Structure 1
Amino acid sequence: MTDNRDMTAGIACGAGAGALWGLVFLAPELVRGFGPLHLAAGRYLAYGLFAMILLAPRWHGLRDRLGRREWVALGWLSLLGNCLYYILLASAVQLGGIAMTSLVIGLLPVAVTILGSRDGGAPPLSQLAPSLLLGIAGVVCVGWQALGPAPGGSLVEQAAGLACAVGALVSWMIFAIGNTRWLARLDHVSAHDWSLLLGVVTGGQALLIVPAAVLLEATGQDISQWSHLIAVCAGVALLSSIAGNALWNRASRLLPLTLIGQMILFETLFALLYGFAWEARLPTMLETLAILLVIASVTSCFTAHKPAAAPA
């Protein structure tokens, strides 16, 4: 079982990753004139470029420690956790809104924690049940309000947005579990380098998105709007992809899967807070209750994982 110091550091890293990842829910609202393919291509091309620059000084030594299995894993993890996930996420935000999307993604901790409870040494589900129920209650509080018809959006758009959000949920759930498993067996590669390698591979995959973005998402933007898109994509790449992923991988090495799953709630929490700031409003009573329930859920999960005190 993880000791208290590692748990505290892991939770701090998980919370930091959630704060930075929450920005990805706001990005589609900042560049409404561009579709999800343009957003994904821009963000991940920037991520790949920054990752290559950071890896360049130690590339030769790192390359020799990677075999075919590692590269295959980097390929499917990059696809599920980055490119496919973000295209679906951005589509969900633009079709259904920030609140609905953050609601669906908020179900991730439940799924990951339940699957992680099967690992050796994990707390039994009976101990994790209070945390899971609190998390679900928080999601329901947001969903009660968020799943109504969106202002200016049709029911068809809402349904399409919900479908994209569910697709993003499944994609990232597979990534979260697979990435944690790989980090546990990669004692010859640091968590930060693994994150940067994911960035390099994701950047290569983003090159394949560019033709689709040009063909499928017609744009008539001027130079200033393109400059704005580049700035947003570069900012998200640095903050959410480089810094956020590094913090997440560090947390994944310090925390068991049953606890790392709960860290995803911080992304939901910060996505809601950024949404309130963007809409220039205070949270409703239900949304305030949801925030408190999310905090209680993480606290309860932390308590379930605390090592038992040694007998005197």
Structure 2
Amino acid sequence: MWTGALYALAAGLMWGLVFVGPLLLPEYPAALQSVGRYLAFGLIALPLAWLDRAALRQLSRADWLEALKLALIGNLIYYLCLASAIQRAGGPLPTMIIGTLPVVIAICANLRSAHRDGRLPWARLAPSLLLIAVGIACVNQVELAALRNDPNADLARYASGALLALLAVACWTWYPLRNADWLRDHPGRSPRTWATAQGVATLPLALIGYALLWAGMKVTGSPFSMPFGPRPLVFIGLMAAIGLFASWLGTLCWNEASQRLPTALVGQLIVFETLAALAYAFLLRGEWPQPLTLAGIGLLIVGVVQAVWVKPEPVAEEGHEA
């Protein structure tokens, strides 16, 4: 249980990096950052795939199709929505909306995966979910107050950013549930191999996306300098770092956690990503969080620690007799 939680923590620390990428490259289109990140992920996965080629050959056509779906929705579309949201609404607001994922995923998993994982009793799960929700609300309140005090705030732009963040939540509610389904249905398969397979599946999607984006910019006469923009070294370096740490290594750690923990519980541990993203955002701002923000972060941590102690109960197989 605790080993799985540590793997989830490591994944969260690395996934938090993706929230600062759009802030460091505000002049780069979100679509370019999405395909750039996953082009780097796919290229990083190629030598890893060669080393793991024997295990990858054991994957069936259905497995590769599943990896392709996970790569499209959980990687490219998710990050396109998230990067667009951050560029439109800033870092903290999308981070807080994404921070609702532990609650959303836990509820969805507890409704759909109880017969496989056992059911986490609602009465014992509710305090943890409540602490996480209140913690998120505290941090969100501080950010909304700052928005209201900013005379130059574009509320329509912020609203569109919030909507895109909600779409990102939808993508990343679907992804971990489907990813955990495959991992739990294939306990003999290596999480490392599955992470590499998703990287390989992402590569052709990212290449096609990059080509379409480049062609679209040419057709529309966009002044943006393709293929690497006005700061090529920064762009390439940042995409490579995010591709390695957030995409491959983060996915590997998450897969390790998913094989060790019930789906409803591992869903709550995505809160580590929110905490890491907040820490990086405040470091980038060069300011210390307000007391209400710190209180919210504390509630999130307490909620996660409490959730780790909730043990799933087996569900009686009613109506399944032959």
Residue by residue over 1:230-280, the C-alpha shift from the partner in whole angstroms, topping out at 9 and shown as x without a partner, is: 000000011101111110000000100121011100000010000100000
2:224 corresponds in structure 1 to 219
**Residue 253 of structure 1, aligned match among 247, 256, 259:** 259
The Cα of 1:190 is off from its aligned counterpart by 0.5
Unaligned runs of 5+ in 2: 314-322
What is the DSSP-based 3-state SS (H/G/I as helix, E as strand, rest coil) of the residue aligned with 2:231?
helix
Contact 2:184–2:259 under 8 Å retained in 1: yes
Distance 1:184 1:266 in 2: 22
The Cα of 1:223 is off from its aligned counterpart by 7.4
1:38 equivalenced with 2:49 (yes/no): no
1:10 corresponds in structure 2 to 4
Moved over 6 A (4+): 221-224
Unaligned runs of 5+ in 1: 1-6, 308-312
1:115 equivalenced with 2:108 (yes/no): yes
AA at the equivalent of 2:16: G
The Cα of 1:189 is off from its aligned counterpart by 2.3
- Map 1:83-232 to 2 at 5 A: 83-118=76-111, 119-120=114-115, 121-148=118-145, 149=147, 152-214=152-214, 215-216=216-217, 218-220=223-225, 225-232=231-238
Contact 2:11–2:249 under 8 Å retained in 1: yes
2:318 corresponds in structure 1 to none
Residues 1:94 and 1:223: Cα distance change in structure 2 (over 3 Å): closer
Contact 2:262–2:312 under 8 Å retained in 1: no
What is the DSSP-based 3-state SS (H/G/I as helix, E as strand, rest coil) of the residue aligned with 1:22?
helix
Distance 2:310 2:255 in 1: 22
Distance 2:122 2:72 in 1: 31
2:45 corresponds in structure 1 to 51
Residue by residue over 1:196-240, the C-alpha shift from the partner in whole angstroms, topping out at 9 and shown as x without a partner, is: 110111111111211343225642489771111000000001110
Residues 1:157 and 1:224: Cα distance change in structure 2 (over 3 Å): closer
Contact 1:23–1:240 under 8 Å retained in 2: yes
Distance 2:184 2:294 in 1: 36
Residues 1:223 and 1:131: Cα distance change in structure 2 (over 3 Å): closer
**Residue 300 of structure 2, aligned match among 286, 289, 294:** 294
Contact 2:138–2:292 under 8 Å retained in 1: yes
- Map 1:264-303 to 2 at 5 A: 264-303=270-309
AA at the equivalent of 1:113: A
Distance 1:238 1:122 in 2: 35
Aligned residues: 300
Residue by residue over 1:48-86, the C-alpha shift from the partner in whole angstroms, topping out at 9 and shown as x without a partner, is: 011111110231x23431212211211111111100000
Distance 1:303 1:39 in 2: 39
The Cα of 1:306 is off from its aligned counterpart by 8.3
AA at the equivalent of 1:140: A
1:262 corresponds in structure 2 to 268
The Cα of 1:126 is off from its aligned counterpart by 1.0
TM-score where L is the length of structure 1: 0.91
AA at the equivalent of 2:41: Y
What is the DSSP-based 3-state SS (H/G/I as helix, E as strand, rest coil) of the residue aligned with 2:197?
helix
Residues 1:84 and 1:223: Cα distance change in structure 2 (over 3 Å): closer
AA at the equivalent of 2:300: V
Contact 1:116–1:122 under 8 Å retained in 2: no
Query: What root-mean-square deviation, in Å, do the aligned CA atoms of Structure 1 and Structure 2 show?
Result: 1.8
Distance 2:100 2:229 in 1: 39
TM-score where L is the length of structure 2: 0.89
Contact 1:22–1:268 under 8 Å retained in 2: yes
AA at the equivalent of 2:68: G
What is the DSSP-based 3-state SS (H/G/I as helix, E as strand, rest coil) of the residue aligned with 1:66?
coil
Contact 2:49–2:56 under 8 Å retained in 1: no
The Cα of 1:31 is off from its aligned counterpart by 1.3
AA at the equivalent of 1:102: T
What percent of counterpart residues are identical? 33
With 127-136 and 110-119 compared, the bigger mean Cα shift is at: 110-119
